[in-house]
Amino acid sequence: MSLAGAVLALLFGYVPGLRQWFEALDGVRKAQVMVGLLLLAAAGAFGASCYTPWVVVECTEAGFWQLVELFIAAVIANQVTYTLAVRPTRTAVEQA
């Protein structure tokens, strides 16, 4: 999950078209987009664990809470990656 958070930050920071769309959003909307995508990734991981051979976490209540911890780690990884790898590359107009 942490890898998903870092990859999302890099995709939205460097992919042409996606970068411009994302930078046009206000700060709150940017956070909502990232958290929403990470929630989808977490739900997909839990669903895959329950209904496919790919086990990310156990398909139990304990596994769900482990996934919550992984989700929090992914949000942190997303923000750290954005702050260290993406934000310094922003132009003055994008940072304003």
For the segment 40-58, what is each residue's pLDDT rounded down to a tens digit?
Answer: 999 998 999 889 888 888 9
Is the per-residue pLDDT at 93 higher than 60?
A: no
For residue 14, is pLDDT > 70? Answer: yes
Q: Which residues of 39-55 are buried (b: 16+ CB within 10 A; e: fewer)?
A: eebbeebbeebeeeeee
Angle made by CA atoms 34, 36, 39, in degrees to the nearest 5:
110
Q: Work out the pLDDT band at 94, boundaries 50, 70, 90.
A: low
| Residue 54 to residue 45: CA distance in whole angstroms | 9
pTM above 0.85, yes or no: no
Q: Which long-range contacts (CB under 8 A, 24 or more apart) does 78-81 make?
A: 78/5, 78/6, 78/8, 78/9, 78/34, 78/38, 79/5, 79/9, 80/6, 81/5, 81/6, 81/9, 81/10
